[in-house]
Structure 1
Amino acid sequence: MTDATSRAAEAAQTLRAATGVESFDIALVLGSGWGGAADLIGEEVGSIEAAEIPGFDAHAVAGHSSMMRALRTEDGRHVLVLGSRQHFYQVRDAGKVAHGVRMAAAAGATQLVITNGCGSTRPEVGPGSVVLLADHINFTGATPLEGASFVDMSQAYSPRLRELARSIDADLPDGVYMQFTGPQYETPAEVRMASILGANLVGMSTALEVLAARQAGMEVLGLSLVTNLAAGIGGETLDHSEVLDVGASSGPRISRLLADIVEGMR
């Protein structure tokens, strides 16, 4: 057992004791704008502050919750909402970024829905749009994997779950997400580079977490909320308050979409 695995197992045991849930089915990472979905998915049966679980730092970015919440759906499945997302720009440690996902896997979750707020390189896919992730580019120069961990990433995002999402909203566009390190927003030149490399969404999360999820054998669905046009695309300067504003205005619509997707997951 690696150090990362043992830390995840310890965290999972603390989570079980606090929530009373022995095994989870689905884990959710709710990015900017997505938090309201939890209240539509099921009844909360337990919660714990992330800072009380081994391996988590006591901070959360504006727009993110610091709570780990256990939900029970109407059909009896247990869903873990992972609060206190640890971004790479906060901790500069890919293992810490992946810790929540690894804890969820250690607590039994076999499916992960990961969401984010991001910038778009396509003017026609503007603020308020939800994009279904088809692939990603990890541009951080980091990985949570250690040693000879040769994880297949050819289908990082589950075709089955993508088909499910499309059955609920047939108009969801595909996207390729590039994770930068942050916390600074990308320059116009960096956005042009991302487009040349095949990305049409840019942000500061997701790829490192998905690496850990795939290593753990989890089935992954990725959804991005476009909160702004990327630098140099819309001609405007960027401000985090805009991210929060778009998240707030889009919240009810995207929360309903996510709740419907979770309802259909088996």
Structure 2
Amino acid sequence: MPLSHLQKACPETAIVLGSGLGSVADSLGIEAEVPYADVAGLSASTVPGHAGRFVLSRLNGKPILIAQGRRHLYEGLSAYEVTAGIRFMHTLGVRRIILTNAAGAIQESMAVGDLMLLTDHLNLLGTTPLLGGPHFHDMSEVYSAEWRAQFLEAAARLSLPLHQGVYAATLGPQYETPAEIRMMRTLGADAVGMSTVPEAIQARALGMQVAGISMLTNWAAGLKAQTLHHAEVVSVGQAASANLTALLKTVL
């Protein structure tokens, strides 16, 4: 499908899907699809569970742009490069964006398979997509409180557990050590992952409204007797994506 189809649709809302959550796009319906490689400055992710394409869907007749998969810093890219998709979506007319991810649960009142709304984040990546100039953007409210209220109301109507918490972003690709998880818990983190924060920073710098949702696919290191595997992360994400789809449909 040509890129012009996305441009003509002028979507105002976009969703970025994390590891194992690609089936959400299929559930919403696919009107058109464009591989990342067809967009200047973008390329497909090298990580299993990330399809690497833009999908155009519609809800109640309104276009919804879906980024099925993302690039990560640990793939050898800069923060500016991994957020190229955010800037591209902005040129199409996107003004609000939902960033989803697979994350490890740190807060033990939560459970594997649950969803967590991001209230804030800890940028432990050591970088930002805004490097290169005095880009002093306010980050007092990265994740829209107004939008969070709508998600919480929708979750209540669906009788769907929906937590709220702080997301810590680490570089990866190795998983965190138990000592690092203890540090993050002390800093106030409720979940940990390897994405989302650069995208959220870039989106806010462009004036977008941002929501963040973590699918808690595993316990963080040291909290349970376990060995962490990416295949398990993808598997849990796939199994629980129906809840995310229902939540997105209700809110959007």
Answer yes or no: same fold by TM over 0.5.
yes
Out of 10, 17, 35, which is 2:4 matched to?
Answer: 17
Q: Partner residue of 1:11?
A: none
State the shift of 1:20 in Å: 5.3
Distance 1:136 1:15 in 2: 36
Out of 41, 54, 58, which is 1:72 matched to?
Answer: 58
Q: Partner residue of 1:164?
A: 150
Distance 1:22 1:129 in 2: 33
Paired letter, 1:38: A
Distance 1:167 1:252 in 2: 18
Find runs of 4+ consecutive structure 1 residues off by over 4 angstroms: none
Corresponding position: 1:57 with 2:34: no
Out of 169, 180, 189, which is 2:179 matched to?
Answer: 189
What CA RMSD, in Å, does the superposition of the two structures yield over aligned residues? 1.7
Corresponding position: 1:228 with 2:218: yes
Corresponding position: 1:257 with 2:247: yes
Q: Partner residue of 2:70?
A: 85
- CA deviations 1:104-152 (Å, max 9, x no partner) are 1111001000000000112331210100110001100000003111111
Paired letter, 1:50: Y
Corresponding position: 1:212 with 2:212: no
* Helix, strand or coil at the partner of 2:217: strand
1:27/1:91 CA distance change after superposition, 3 Å: farther
Task: Tell me if structure 2 keeps the 8 A contact 1:18–1:48.
Answer: no
Distance 2:24 2:153 in 1: 19
Paired letter, 1:234: K
Corresponding position: 1:123 with 2:113: no
Paired letter, 1:39: D
Paired letter, 1:25: E
Task: Tell me if structure 2 keeps the 8 A contact 1:40–1:259.
Answer: no
- CA deviations 1:150-178 (Å, max 9, x no partner) are 11111100011100001111342111000
Q: Partner residue of 2:228?
A: 238
Q: Partner residue of 1:151?
A: 137
State the shift of 1:33 in Å: 3.4
* Helix, strand or coil at the partner of 1:173: strand
Identity, % of aligned positions: 38
Q: Partner residue of 1:103?
A: 88
TM-score by length of 1: 0.88
Corresponding position: 1:175 with 2:165: yes
Distance 2:172 2:51 in 1: 20
Task: Tell me if structure 1 keeps the 8 A contact 2:113–2:216.
Answer: yes
Q: Partner residue of 1:36?
A: 23
Q: Partner residue of 2:122?
A: 137
Distance 2:76 2:248 in 1: 28
5+ residue gaps in structure 2?
none
